[in-house]
Structure 1
Amino acid sequence: MTRPQHIKFGLLLEPTGNAFNGWLDPATPRDGAIDLALIRELVELAEEALFGFAFVADSVSIEPGAKPYYLNRFEPLTLLGAVSTWTKRMGLVATMSAGFTEPFNVARQIASLDLLSGGRAGINVVTSAWGSTASNFGDAELLSHDERYLRAEEYVAVLRGLWDTYEDDAFVQDRVSRTYLDRSKQHLLNHTGAHFSVRGPLNIQRSPQGQPVVFQAGSSPTGRDFAARHAEAIFAKEPTFDGAKEYTGDLKRRIAEAGRDPDHVQVFMGAHVIVAPTRAEAEDKFAQIASYTDDAEALKWLSFFYNYHDFSGEDLDGPFPDLTAVGDNHMQGITRAWEDRARRENLTLREVARLAATPREDFFGTPEDVADALEHWFTHGAADGFLINNWVQPSGLRDFTRLVIPELRRRGLYPDEYRGATLREHLGLPYVPNRYAHAARSR
């Protein structure tokens, strides 16, 4: 497999920062989650630093253990529509639930964002793991873990089929012949499956990049198989180099086994960067960020991933309890990673809760320290790129772009300009030809 020359970065667009109580940071606007001036500053900083994309995570319910940011935030497509007018090159990735949205509407919305932005859109397909989400959608039910992925498989197939409604040159728009559309180049989907029945056609032209980029964040075995078959970029969160290398190697192997080119699927590891001119200053920053979350809040955040499991009767300083059954129909990959680490390192419940709320990672210290870690992970196959999840904003992103990006450029690991105009070009992914045009040429 050919390693790309440059590290790629995406921005997790969480305006108050990724810390549980990031809004407590004195430099962060208290209403930063809905502060358009702050959001604009962040995306413009990221684009100036040549980030490949900005990514908006989302859920369609509020859980009891949710951090404050989740209580009051913009819907992804509406927000990214605004962001598209402030940016010219950076990709725009929205999270959509395969469990609780209809693929025709979503195909149209993502295609619209893509056309508005000149080919910069992507979609992060999630399966939605909480019962409270189902409660917001009438008689919908929360499917089992594996069934949610079967629905997502069909969902992605429908999206891609609709995005191929028109061939690239279908809209003739010839005034002399009064021909607006070559109808031989418009194609009905006529899909009928276990979860969706969609006739088509989609009422918007094809993407400048062929199709918008499909992202996914599978960490369970089922999720990894889904990502290997369908994703073009993958979000992952492994706190250690060894864990990240195992994950990325496993994904690339599964991608090859699925008959796809591993070079055409990019793995982005989440990175909580804390950087300062000196190590001591970085330590002070981490201590301040950690102080924003007390033990009760950390435990509340941990319960969020375990279907609101009540930890109140547990000994905080006792061994981490066996919660395998509790997490089985929820975030399997994340919870099992914590459980494995707790057993391996004999961690207490308090330590795991703190680890969940504010993990200490490799990407810490001076600009040279952080660049060393990023270079090591990148050059040794633990990641193709990184999703930058700053604990607090906007200071976290300012620090990263001001201190780390120049050091990476000095090492020849980061570009001086965007490599193209579309999100696919930023990620080194190929243009997607229309399936119907290819079939016609084959005949």
Structure 2
Amino acid sequence: MADQAKPKKQLHLAAFMRPVSLHSGAWRYPGAYPDANFNLSHLKSFIQKLEAAKFDAFFMADHLAVLNMPVEALKRSHTVTSFEPFTLLSALSQVTTHIGLAATASTTYDEPYHVARRFASLDHLSGGRAAWNIVTTGNPETALNFSLDEHVEHAERYKRAREFYDVVTGLWDSFADDAFMRDQETGVFFDPGRLHTLNHKGENFKVKGPLNIARPVQGWPVIVQAGQSEPGKQLAAETAEAVFCAPRDLESAKALYADIKGRVEAAGRKREHLKLLPAVFIVVGDTVEDAKEKRLKVDSLVHHETAIASLSVALGQDASKFDPDSPLPDLDILDTNASKTGRAGVIKLAKEEWLTVRQLAGRYGGYSGLSFVGTPETIADEMATWLEEEAADGFTVVSPFLPEGLDAITDKLVPELQRRGLFRKEYKGTTLREHLGLPRPKNRFFE
């Protein structure tokens, strides 16, 4: 009977690791490594902890420009510098054996041949653990680093991304899996009949091919997508195998899950061949109150001027005029141009958690997305609910501060999930596709 009570599904867990924490106060937390984004020794220790905890993947976001924020805020941000993802993940592939290695690469400010070659290389170097996070790049400042005066328009970026995907995956299929004979006696290295020249000619790209690297170990590296706009969701439905998304609560997550999974089926694919992995900020404590105190502590480390500016944006009015050490005034009757849903969420949070204006500002200046704050048991309860109610297939975990916050996740939360049968105790394969339960794509040009 005990076995029958176990959930049929298990969670998938990826770790968001660039920056090592999305919280802008994380680098100032007592005991945190302030140089963690740019310290290879620290990053090696982080990925090895995550692999020991059997995480599916280590996910590197990327920016091709310094974030476009006022310099007074930028100078306090730990996201200013970081390693280039391919370089770092190639190094980390040599000190790990199982955990997936997911990197962001832009379809707007790169070329398909470059991206295809890099990811194929990473997949071979890692023994089949690479994943490509397809982004169209949202920061308009990026254009100025690539000889353009203006950012490419949103709809055009997604049209380019769709064709970009077709070219990259076509290049990955340049060689049949059995093309390389390497026959030393006859001197024949590969069979020319098992080589396909792409000759792609489209609206955005003209690429002859073939790719000058063997087909990736996984056939194709795992395809990941992160956009939640209408074009983003459609691109995900047609191409992605994992989606990093940012719903704010259970109900919106369920709606997004149903929407994208429905689009997947409409595109002629199986629902289970795409995994939704919402980003969640996790703070683990010995008690719920202990976890909440840690959250308040890291929020308090966001500089007040930066934090109050973020709160003002969320409220649609100047929050600097409020007493910082008093509760948020009653703002329900005020009319502003801010998002009504977003503004209502700010007011609701302030009332539910009895936050002062200073504490509320720290939340919005630090990390205001989905959060699970509690004990291993209470967080496991929340994760189980999201899995059972089809709000998620797993999570993209954001650590609050490192190393302590990450250690609490790997050493306390993961064992609780394993005890409940919600998460693996051992890897069942060696490739990322095997971890995620995804099929190996067939070569479109060869049997």
Q: TM-score range by the shorter chain?
A: 0.7 to 0.9
Shifted more, 157-166 versus 64-73: the winner is 64-73
Equivalent residue, structure 2, for 1:415: 424
Once the two structures are TM-superposed, the CA of residue 311 in structure 1 deviates from its matched residue by 7.8
Equivalent residue, structure 2, for 1:342: 343
Q: Which one-letter code corresponds to 1:194 in the other structure? A: E
Equivalent residue, structure 2, for 1:370: 379
In structure 1, what is the Cα distance between the partners aligned to 2:366 and 2:202? 40
User: Could you tell me which of 27, 34, 43 is aligned with 2:47?
Assistant: 43
User: Could you tell me which of 260, 277, 291 is aligned with 1:251?
Assistant: 260
Q: Which one-letter code corresponds to 1:18 in the other structure? A: L
Q: Which one-letter code corresponds to 1:298 in the other structure? A: A
Equivalent residue, structure 1, for 2:16: 12
In structure 1, what is the Cα distance between the partners aligned to 2:66 and 2:272? 37
| 1:151 counterpart = 2:151 | no
Equivalent residue, structure 1, for 2:435: 426
User: Could you tell me which of 393, 407, 415 is aligned with 1:384?
Assistant: 393
Q: CA RMSD in A?
A: 2.6
Equivalent residue, structure 1, for 2:172: 163
Q: Which one-letter code corresponds to 1:186 in the other structure? A: L
Q: Which one-letter code corresponds to 1:274 in the other structure? A: V
Once the two structures are TM-superposed, the CA of residue 361 in structure 1 deviates from its matched residue by 4.4
| 1:183 counterpart = 2:192 | yes
Q: What is the TM-score of this pair, normalised by structure 2?
A: 0.87
Equivalent residue, structure 2, for 1:328: none
User: Could you tell me which of 204, 207, 215 is aligned with 1:206?
Assistant: 215
In structure 2, what is the Cα distance between the partners aligned to 1:407 and 1:142? 46
Shifted more, 289-298 versus 412-421: the winner is 289-298
In structure 1, what is the Cα distance between the partners aligned to 2:349 and 2:406? 32
In structure 1, what is the Cα distance between the partners aligned to 2:349 and 2:100? 41
Contact kept in structure 1, 2:280 and 2:369, CA below 8 Å: no
Given the superposition, is the C-alpha separation of residues 96 and 138 from structure 1 closer, same or farther in structure 2, using an over 3 Å criterion? same
For 1:261-340, list aligned pairs within 5 A.
Answer: 261-298=270-307, 321-322=336-337, 340=341
In structure 2, what is the Cα distance between the partners aligned to 1:245 and 1:173? 51
Contact kept in structure 2, 1:271 and 1:386, CA below 8 Å: yes
Q: Which one-letter code corresponds to 2:343 in the other structure? A: A
In structure 1, what is the Cα distance between the partners aligned to 2:246 and 2:90? 27
In structure 1, what is the Cα distance between the partners aligned to 2:250 and 2:168? 35
Once the two structures are TM-superposed, the CA of residue 321 in structure 1 deviates from its matched residue by 4.2
Contact kept in structure 1, 2:417 and 2:423, CA below 8 Å: yes
In structure 2, what is the Cα distance between the partners aligned to 1:348 and 1:88? 42
Unaligned stretches of 5+ in structure 2? 1-6, 323-328, 351-356
Q: Which one-letter code corresponds to 2:337 in the other structure? A: D
Identity value in percent = 36
In structure 2, what is the Cα distance between the partners aligned to 1:411 and 1:106? 40
SS in 1 for 2:145: coil
SS in 1 for 2:142: helix
Once the two structures are TM-superposed, the CA of residue 218 in structure 1 deviates from its matched residue by 1.6
SS in 2 for 1:71: coil
In structure 2, what is the Cα distance between the partners aligned to 1:129 and 1:361? 21
For residues 293-319 of structure 1, give each alpha carbon's deviation from its aligned partner in whole angstroms, at most 9, with x where no partner exists. 14431355689x99xxx9879977765
SS in 2 for 1:180: strand
Given the superposition, is the C-alpha separation of residues 209 and 135 from structure 1 closer, same or farther in structure 2, using an over 3 Å criterion? same
Once the two structures are TM-superposed, the CA of residue 428 in structure 1 deviates from its matched residue by 0.5
SS in 1 for 2:181: coil
In structure 2, what is the Cα distance between the partners aligned to 1:360 and 1:111? 33
Equivalent residue, structure 2, for 1:332: none
Equivalent residue, structure 1, for 2:129: 120
Contact kept in structure 2, 1:342 and 1:352, CA below 8 Å: no
Q: What is the TM-score of this pair, normalised by structure 1?
A: 0.88
Equivalent residue, structure 2, for 1:61: 65
Equivalent residue, structure 2, for 1:174: 183
User: Could you tell me which of 398, 404, 407 is aligned with 2:413?
Assistant: 404
Equivalent residue, structure 2, for 1:34: 38
In structure 1, what is the Cα distance between the partners aligned to 2:346 and 2:309? 22
Q: Which one-letter code corresponds to 2:146 in the other structure? A: F
For residues 53-74 of structure 1, give each alpha carbon's deviation from its aligned partner in whole angstroms, at most 9, with x where no partner exists. 1000011001232562221111
Once the two structures are TM-superposed, the CA of residue 35 in structure 1 deviates from its matched residue by 1.2
Shifted more, 104-113 versus 356-365: the winner is 356-365
In structure 2, what is the Cα distance between the partners aligned to 1:302 and 1:175? 68
In structure 1, what is the Cα distance between the partners aligned to 2:320 and 2:207? 49
In structure 1, what is the Cα distance between the partners aligned to 2:390 and 2:161? 28
